[in-house]
A = this chain, B = another copy of it.
Amino acid sequence: MSTKLSFRQKVHLAREDAIVTAVKRLLADKGFDLMTVDEVAAEVGIAKASLYKHFPSKEALAAAAMVQVMDSALAESARLQADAGLDAGARLREITRWTLRTQLAGEMPTLPSENSSLRAALLAHEGYMTRLMDLSDRLGEWIVQAQADGTIDPALPPEVVLYTVFARACDPVVGFLKAGGRHDDAAIVEHVMRSCFGGLQTRPPSAA
């Protein structure tokens, strides 16, 4: 890969980045089905036909946004991996916290529900699937390690833990609490973290 880019190419990439940023925000706000390409064009400030010169379809638009989110998540996971002061359990908690903060910031596109034209497009999108598997592998290692360490319940199958962490990205509890207006963002994150990792039941005073 050359790092030397012509002015034209830089402008091109900057525009595509502006488009993807708008798509991310709209996806987080309304979801794929309710987001219209007209809205995206309006938010970016260009004509709809110009959008289609950059991305061939609405699905490709959304996939590009999902790839960018995956890259953010992978970057965050790399930071946590590099932090030698954290054990596997702490890394899992911190990536979950990052997920909740990202959702609260309105930057977490809602994942595709089971039946959606987006779902098929994402499954066929090589870049997205590679990143999803990389992230799953890294979190999977943390989970197995944390279960060996005794910080994550070994009675839960690892995929249950993985899906539960992933699901925080679209946890409706976050939105409900935000809409209620009785808690600030930090409190919402801590409440959801406590219910997720500690459970709803009362915990006996921990030996640890």
A200 contacts which chain B residues (CB < 8 A)? 92, 152-153, 156, 161, 164-165, 196-197, 199
Q: What is the total number of residues of chain A having a CB less than 8 Å from a CB of chain B?
A: 55
How far is A176 from B160 in the complex, measured between Cα atoms in Å?
9
Tell whether A208 is near chain B: CB-to-CB under 8 Å: yes
Is A172 a contact partner of B180 (Cβ separation < 8 A)?
Answer: no
22 pairs, A vs B, C-beta closer than 8 Å: A29-B114, A31-B115, A151-B201, A153-B200, A156-B194, A156-B195, A157-B183, A157-B191, A159-B176, A159-B177, A160-B177, A160-B192, A161-B200, A163-B176, A164-B195, A167-B171, A196-B199, A197-B199, A197-B200, A197-B201, A199-B200, A204-B207
Interface residues of A (CB under 8 A from B): 29-31, 33-34, 89, 92, 110-111, 113-116, 150-157, 159-161, 163-165, 167, 170-173, 175-177, 179-180, 182-183, 191-192, 194-204, 206-208
